[in-house]
Each structure stands twice: as C-alpha cells, then as structure tokens.
Amino acid sequence: MEGNFIFTMGSNFQFLLALVRMTFKSAVGQRSALLIRAFFSVITHLIYIPVWYVVFSVAPDLSGWRLEHALYAYGLAISCWGIVSLLAFGLRMIPEQIDHGELDSYLTLPKPVILSAAFSSSKNTGVGEVLFGVCLLIFCGIHYGFSFVPMPFFVLMGSVVFASGILFFATLGFWLKQFIGSAEEIYFNFNLMASRPAPIFTGALKIIALTLVPVSLMSHIPIDFVVHHHWLTLTYAVLGVAAYAVLAVSFFYLGLRFYESGNRFGIKG
Amino acid sequence: MIKYYHFARIAFGDHLSGRLRIFTRYLIFLLLDWVMIAMWDLIYKSGYGPEQISVVDMGWYMAFSQMMFFLSPRLFIVIDSDVRSGNVGYFLNRPIPYLWMRLSEGIGALFGNLLIYYIVSVPFLYWMIGEFPSTGWFGIIAVMGGLVLASVLHLLFQILAGLSTFWTNDAIFIYHSYQKFCLLFGGIYVPLALYPGFLSGEVLKFFPFASMVGNPVSLIFAPSLVGFFEVLALQIFWLGFVGFGLSAFYRLCLRKVEVHGG
C-alpha cells in the first residue's frame, strides 16, 4: 500500500517535471517577446517602489515595520507572482477555461487534472518578475543586512501560498460564470496585500490574513523570522502553507464535480 | 445615439443579473477598504498622522479611492478576449463602431455598479470608520459626483489596455502596469497633498491619474462648488484627450485587422 503511494507520488513528480520542462521550453522559444515583456515588467514593478517611499516618508516607522520590510515583502511577493506566472500560469486561467469548456482536454490527459491545468501554460512576463523580485531581495540583503540563507525557502513557501490562493479563488469560477475579470482582481490584490505592513493586520484582519487570504504566510511571517528568528512561528507557518495547499486542491476537485463539460471541442497536444 | 443607449441599457440589466459575481467583488472591495483604513489608523496611532486631516476623513478618503477601481466593469478582459479569439472580426462587420459599442456597454454596467456601491457602501463605511466625514453628506455627495466621470475615464484607459492586445497579446499585463501608475500618481495610498517634494502633488494633480482618484476623492476634505467644477473641468479635458487618442489608436488597430485578419 505504502509502496503504491510512493510509486504514484514519484510518477506525479515525473509528470510535473515533464510539464514544467515543456512549459519552460515554450516560454523560452519566444525569445524577443520574452525579453520585451521582461523589460516592461521590471519597469512596471519599479514604479511601485516610490509608492512605499511616499508612505514611509509620511510615517517612517509603523510599529517596527519600516521601508526595508516593505521592500523585502514586495521582493517576496513579486518573485512569487513571477514564479507562478512562469510555471503555473494555467492556474490563473482556470475561470476562463471553465467558461470556454477547455478543461475537457485536461480530463483526458494523465491524472491528476490539477497538474495538467496548472502547468500547461506559461506567461513570459514571469521572467522579468522573478528577476526583479530576486534583485530586490538581494538589494535588501546587501543594503539592510537581511540574511540571504532563508530567502530561497521563503520564495518557495510564498509561491506555494500564492499558487494555492490563486487555485482557491479560481475555483469559484465553477459556480460564477465570467469570473476571470474578478479573479484577476483578486490575484492582483492578494499579491499587493502581501507587501502591506504586517502591523496593520490585527484582530479579524489577522485571522483573514492567516486563513482565507494568507498573505501573512507569504511575507509577514518570513519577515518576522528574518528579524526575530522565531522558529516555532515559522514551523506553524510551514504547516499552515501545507494545510492551505490541501484545502485549495480539495476545493478545486469539489468544483470539478460541478463542471459542465463538452460545450466546445478542442484538441491539446 | 439611441443604439448606444440600448447597448448600455442591456449591459445594465445583464450586469445586475450576475448577483453572485457582484457580491464577490463587493467583498473584495470591503476587504481592501478595511486594510487601507487599518493602515491609516495605525499611522495616526503611531503619531505620524497629518494634522490638517482627521483619521475619520482619511478613512473615507481611502475607501472612496479604492472604490474607483471597483465601479467600472472589467472591460479590458472582454476586449482582450475578443481580440485573442478573433471575435473582434465579426463585430467589425456590424453597422456600429466596436469601440463605442464596448464603451456604451461599459457605461451601462458602470451605472449598475454606481447604484449598488453608492447605496450599500455608505452604511458599511460608516460602520467601519465609526463616523461620517467632517464635511458630512455634502462631502460624500461631491466625491460620488466626481467619481462618475472618473470611472468613465477609467473605462477609456481599460479600452486602451484591451486594444493593446493586438500587439502584446496580453491586456492583463498592460492593465496591471496602468494600475501601478494609478497607485503612484493617483494618490491612492496617500493623498496627493501629502506627497514629498520629489513627487510634487501640485504637479501630479494635473495628471489623468489624479483626475480619476486624487482630485475627486480629495473633495471629501473640503468640498466646494468651485472645487467640484474644477475637478469636473479637468476630467472633461482628459476624457476628450484620451477619447481622441483612443479613437486614433482604434483606427490603427483596424488597419492591423485589415492587413493581418481578425
């Protein structure tokens, strides 16, 4: 039984790697488009930094949260956005795929459906976003003395949270038609909220930031760890990330039962 | 003009029929309001609040500045989908310009949202902030009036983002860039009057981004008929300017469709 489970996990992982390889090849194939979009995405994200300069010029210290924390949080948030766009853009498109009946083709591919749906498309702006986010994190490390060691882990952890969040909200598309516009708005604000100062989130807002829209797991707790080294909090956060991912995937499969397929024919290679 | 009215009327009814979608979007709006109000509450409690603006007035400012993005429908997604699917080719054969057809649909849905957001939000915001703004109902009505043309201007920018799909194949990316410009130059997180020297609010208030957010929403602090008409005049200027630019850009898109197909 246990051997069977490990075999299935191994097969799924191989399938995942194959999908990621294929998606990445397709993204890299459009070299000029990739470079242009990467350039513009860096410019776009640079614009957002003065927003925090403006906020912190008015209030330099918000209960211990300063400009360097906002920049670190923004670096994390943008890296996660880029990684998800580059590798799992399909998650963002789930509401549109539901509306157009395009999930049908994934149902015929090797299971699990979620892997095919998530990793079958890529957005090449992700390259610029990952580059920008990582550069910002490195800048924070050099200029403000934040440790570099946990950064890759935090980016990975944040990406899982963000991808799960996207999946969770995209799944609402099974019940809400033409949800893609609202869904994009949710993803965008989810990501922006991750860069907002942690001390804002108190009381009920803190509960929301740890459960339904877990931006605290994405940026606030990692930054708290970088400053205070609270291992126990980080351990709980990792458990929280795993639980949220399981919740999102379960919710997706619940929604899949409501999927009214077969309204449009298409072939996916 | 009557045909545009009918497009708007149908879009109004169609938009209001998606109750669950409106409800979901409204919840996001409330959550964002909550976060921004909490941020400024913390700023005031930390002793950094500007003396000339009370925490209550700032709360109302933040709420209305977030509202602007939620009043208009996501028109760029519709245009992006039309262009990418090639459906735009079918619309071009119709005896009505595609551009103005989509705009009238957007305005129809916008009026649906105005009805909901203006009626429902005031009690919710009062509950979240705890008091009415110091300028009372006059301030609220002035802001609401200013946000109507601001939202139409926002629709024009959305159409621009949507039409950019002809070249970028991705309106969402362009729209997010535009949103970031709005965040910086519109005065969404901080009123333009409080901007530091290197980003002079006195200059930024003449930008189209300020005409959409900062200028109309700042009426909450000191509403006056003169101020209201100044905001309106600048909005009309930007509507004309962006509308003219959009029309030229649309002709460029049409040429691309004629050369390369839909």
Could you read off the pLDDT of B21-48 as tens digits, one per residue? 788 889 989 999 999 999 999 999 988 8
Q: Is residue A264 part of a domain?
A: no
Is the pLDDT at A256 greater than 80? The verdict is yes
Inform me whether the C-beta atom of residue A125 falls under 8 Å from chain B C-beta atoms. yes
Q: Looking at the complex, does the CB of residue A42 fall below 8 Å from at least one CB of chain B?
A: no
Mutate to test the interface with B, among A57, A66, A168, A205 (most CBs of B within 10 A): A57
Q: Which residues of B touch A59 (CB under 8 A)?
A: 43, 46, 48
Q: Which residue has the higher pLDDT, B215 or B84?
A: B215
Of B94, B112, B96, residue with least CA distance to B18: B112
First to last CA, chain A: 33
Whole-number pLDDT of residue A268: 46
DSSP label at A65?
A: B
Instruction: Determine whether the interchain pair B42/A199 forms a contact, defined as Cβ–Cβ distance below 8 Å.
Output: yes
> Domain range spanning residue A82?
27-256
Q: Which residue of A has its CA nearest to B172?
A: A184
pLDDT at position A42, please?
80
Predicted pLDDT of residue A223: 92
pLDDT in tens, B130-173: 999 998 899 999 999 999 999 999 999 999 999 888 887 778 88
pTM score = 0.84
At what angle are helices B98-129 and B225-260 packed, to 10 degrees? 140
Beta carbons within 8 Å of A121's beta carbon, 6+ residues apart: A23, A89, A90, A93
pLDDT band per the 50, 70, 90 thresholds, residue A6: low
Which range in A71-75, A109-113, A190-194, B78-82 is most confidently predicted, on average pLDDT? A71-75
Check CB contact of A185 with chain B, cutoff 8 Å: yes
Q: Provide the pLDDT confidence category of residue A269 given band limits of 50, 70 and 90.
A: very low
Contact of B139 with B42, CB cutoff 8 Å: no
Q: How confident is the model at residue B54 (pLDDT cuts 50, 70, 90)?
A: very high
Give the residue with greater pLDDT, B131 vs A23. B131
Q: What is the domain count for chain A?
A: 1
Would you say residue A18 lies in a domain? no
pLDDT for residue B259: 62
Q: Which of B173, B147, B174, B149 is nearest to B249 (CA)?
A: B174
Distance from CA of A249 to the nearest CA of B (A): 20
Minimum CA–CA partner of B26 in chain A? A182
Mean pLDDT across A54-78: 90
Subunit contact A177:B21, Cβ cutoff 8 A: yes
- Predicted pLDDT at B111: 94
